[in-house]
Every structure is written in structure tokens, then in C-alpha cells.
Chains A and B, each alone.
Chain A
């Protein structure tokens, strides 16, 4: 486990020494603060729009960080040839994959902590309340969802040789799932066979990332989701992340490095 954590540590260092994270945070903060400084139509509920926009930005930024950080890990190691001195140590390829996954996922946790803290402070300055349980649930499930995205991008980094191709494909797939995933079964009922069966199979195969989206709950101050439901969602994400990680380990074991 210590080897995996050591490799993860390098990924986290990589994140906070690059400019991507800071640029995205400053951009989110600027947009949110500019929007928060104006009170259009003197509407007391305008804060909901502010919260919605800020959360949307947080979702976009977190996906950008998760996908780009993960997609470059293995290609970067191969390109700069750092994979060779690393694997020449008593390290297995499985440990490298697990370390990369853990590092990217923990980097996402740090990112989310910073962004949600900013969101909490910005929302509190307008609403004078801090629904901690809602924020905690939204952030935790968001982070769990990113675990699936990170593991998926890790598999992609072993299939596609260029990090840019993997990044683009991951963005398209994740956007498709988040926007259209929940409607696939309804579309399947309206199209003829065999497209109907194919869409239905796709509906039951893809990881439904939208399950983890609790933005409405935070925006409208709804009561928190039942914890048992949260646990089921975590188990669902773990199954997908586990499957992708297993695939990544098997692919990396067979991958020729030279």
C-alpha cells in the first residue's frame, strides 16, 4: 500500500505545481463574484441562480481536472521514459495503475474541497446559512462520480496512445452520459428494432453519472438524500470503478513499454 501511496503523492504534486488548477479556480471565483455583485431585478431568490451557475462551473472544472490529469499520466511516463526507472524498482505494474488512480482521485478530492469551500463561503455571504449536510452529500457523491471518470480515463490512456485523443473521447462520453444517459430508455421505446434493443442495452451498460448530481438539492435547499441511498450510489460507482481498474491493470500488464 505504501508504494501505491508514494506513486499517488507524485500525481498530487504534479497537480498543485501546474497552473491548470489555479487558472480554473480563479476563473470560477471571478465569474461567481462578478455575478454575485449584481442584483438583477432586485429578486431575493437570485442567489439560487448564482448557486446554480457556481455549481455548474465547479462540475465543469472538476471534470476538466479529473480527465486531463488522468489522461496524461501513463503517456507522460512513457514519453519522458520515467516509467523505466520506476518499474526497475520493486514495483509491480498493478501498483503503478493503482497509484495513478489514487493520486488522480485524491487530486480531485483536493480540488473539490477548495471549490466547495469557496462555494459555501459565497453562498453563505448571500443566504446567511450553511446547510452542511447538503454540501457534504453533494461533494461526496461528486467525488465518488469522479472516481468512475478517473478510472475510465485511465483505461483510455492505455488504449489510446495520444493523451489528447483520450481526453477528447472521455469528455464526449462523460458529456453524453450526463446529458442523455437518463433518457436512453425512453428513446429506446420510440425507435424500431434493432436500434431499440441496442439503446436499451446501452442504457443498462453505461455508468449513470447523473445519479451523483445533487446540484438541485443544494440550489433549492431540499432536505438531504437518505444515507442508505448514498451508500447504494457509492456501491454502484465502486463496481464500475473496480471494473475499469481491473481492465486498466490487465491492459497495462500486457502493454509493451519499449
Chain B
């Protein structure tokens, strides 16, 4: 975190806020080093300018952690995830999954990814979709069938396994997305706003699944705007604003240190000051 900014907010630098027990060393499953991402934007006519969406980001996630990646819209969360998943290249710096640079496709062998609001191949059933992704991971046939049973049970879609995805509700589509992210029994799960657009029951179910994965020792890296949910589920959080890391630390430590809820802390970090309430005309 920029020292001046942290002093402005009266908050410690990310390195100070980070638990000293956790060091980005041997156990680091995900590591981001000085990551910068620029986007070319067309301004006037044919002239283009670069907009920095991620600026010198350093982050590491350790094995077995549930890590919340927070920030307001446009903070650079999805861009960072896009770099981690190899969808876009970093302008400078690098990111590593299991010690392998994300530019190598093999880095994605042990990860599961759930994008925000994806509509899967609607002409396939859940079973066929999972079989398709299992084949990409070259999972043997018997093992594939066993895992399909297992993940469909976990996401509670056993009853609809043979139905085409086009007949699924939004919540069911999100759960089939979670099932595809789990088909290779990943060591790291990257979830981009997993509860976005879901009703309270759907959210609760997704949260339960994340908690169950945590008890199984999986590492989960997820972005969310649901701060209550993040507070419940996460071990550590990082708050990003305008492409820069503003705060990072254990949820329990941050709560103890600042005597603020995660939501209050988030608003303070991103510099939100509530305006005076306006009275609506009766």
C-alpha cells in the first residue's frame, strides 16, 4: 500500500496489517508480484491512452486459506483475476499459481474457477457438462463418474443432473458453475462474486459450500461485494481501490485492531464519506 495513502486513512500498510505468522514463502499457493495492468482506451479519434487498472499489486495466498478480495466496482479485482487465469497479460510484474507463472497453461491444472454470471452450454445437461470439463483435465472415466456424483451431491443438483441446463434457474446455474469448478478436485478455487444475483437461500447455499471446502482444506480466493458474507467465511482479506492494495490482513486482527466492522473499515479505506440524508417528499 502506498504509505502516504495509508497515513491519510490512518491505517497501517498492508505489510503491517498482514499477520506475521503468514509469510509468502513455501506455502504460498498464489503469489502476485508487482503486478501492473494497463488498458488501452480510445479517447479522441484514433489517439489511444493507457489506463492503469492494477498498480504494483503484491499479494500472496497460503494453503488452506479462504481469502476475500474486496474493492469497489472498477477497483481492479476482476482484472487481477483475469491475469491469474491467463485471460490477459500483465503489463509488468508477474503472478504465480503453485510456483508456476500464470502464462503457462499447466499452472491452471490444479485450480477451479467460477466466473461471475456465466451461462453454460445450455444444450448440455449438468452431467454432460461436468464430463466435458473432466475430459479436459484428462481424468479417467471411472474417476470422472465418481467425481460427478460427488460434486452434484455437494451442490445439491443430483435431482436435475440429466436435465438440460437451459431449464435451470439462476441459482441452479450458479451451482452447476461451482460443480464445474470442483470437478478436478482443485487445490485452489478462484471465485468471482460467487453469490452475485442469487436470492438469500442461494447465497446461503453457496456460502455453506465454501465453508465445507474450507473444512476440507481447500484454498479459496474470492471476490465479493457481500461484506457480511466475507466476514463470516474469510480468514484474510485484501481491499483494493483504484488498482492499488489499500489494506490486507486477517479478518479477526483487523476487527480487533480498528474496532470496526468489515463494512465500516471498507468504507473508510475507499474514502467513502456519507452525505447528509436527504428527506424524500411525502
Q: Which of B82, B105, B114, B118 contacts A91 (CB 8 A)?
A: B105
Contact between chains at A90 and B105 (CB < 8 Å) = yes
Q: A1-45: which have CB < 8 Å to B? A: 2-3, 6-7, 9-10, 13-14, 17-18
Contact between chains at A10 and B121 (CB < 8 Å) = yes
Contact between chains at B113 and A84 (CB < 8 Å) = yes
Contact between chains at A85 and B132 (CB < 8 Å) = no
Which of B84-92, B199-207, B224-232, B241-249 is near enough to bind chain A?
B84-92
Across the two chains, which residue of chain B brings its CB closest to A3?
B136
Contact between chains at B136 and A85 (CB < 8 Å) = no
Q: B97-138: which have CB < 8 Å to A? A: 105-106, 108-109, 111, 113-115, 117-124, 128, 132-133, 135-138
A to B contact number (C-beta, < 8 Å): 81
Bound form: Cα–Cα A257–B86 in Å:
11
Residue B35 at the chain A interface, CB threshold 8 Å: no
Bound form: Cα–Cα A97–B135 in Å:
17
Contact between chains at B88 and A256 (CB < 8 Å) = yes
Residue B71 at the chain A interface, CB threshold 8 Å: no
Minimal beta-carbon separation of A139 from chain B (angstroms): 27
Across the two chains, which residue of chain B brings its CB closest to A81?
B118
Bound form: Cα–Cα A86–B118 in Å:
11
Residue B180 at the chain A interface, CB threshold 8 Å: yes
Contact between chains at B118 and A6 (CB < 8 Å) = no
Minimal beta-carbon separation of A121 from chain B (angstroms): 30
Bound form: Cα–Cα A202–B133 in Å:
44
Residue B66 at the chain A interface, CB threshold 8 Å: no
Contacts of B118 in A (CB 8 A): 80-82, 84-85
Residue B177 at the chain A interface, CB threshold 8 Å: yes
Contact between chains at B138 and A2 (CB < 8 Å) = yes
- Measured CB to CB, the residues of B under 8 A from A are 78-79, 82, 85-88, 105-106, 108-109, 111, 113-115, 117-124, 128, 132-133, 135-138, 177, 180-181, 184, 190
Task: Give me 14 A-to-B residue pairs in the complex whose CB atoms sit less than 8 angstroms apart, sorted by A's number.
Answer: A3-B135, A3-B136, A13-B124, A85-B113, A88-B86, A88-B190, A89-B108, A89-B133, A90-B105, A90-B109, A91-B105, A91-B136, A258-B82, A258-B87
- Measured CB to CB, the residues of A under 8 A from B are 2-3, 6-7, 9-10, 13-14, 17-18, 80-82, 84-92, 256-258
4 closest A-B pairs by CB? A88-B113, A6-B135, A80-B119, A17-B123
Q: Given A80-B121, A88-B85, A258-B87, 13 other A-B contacts at CB below 8 A?
A: A13-B124, A81-B118, A82-B120, A84-B85, A84-B115, A85-B113, A85-B181, A88-B113, A88-B115, A89-B137, A89-B184, A90-B109, A90-B137
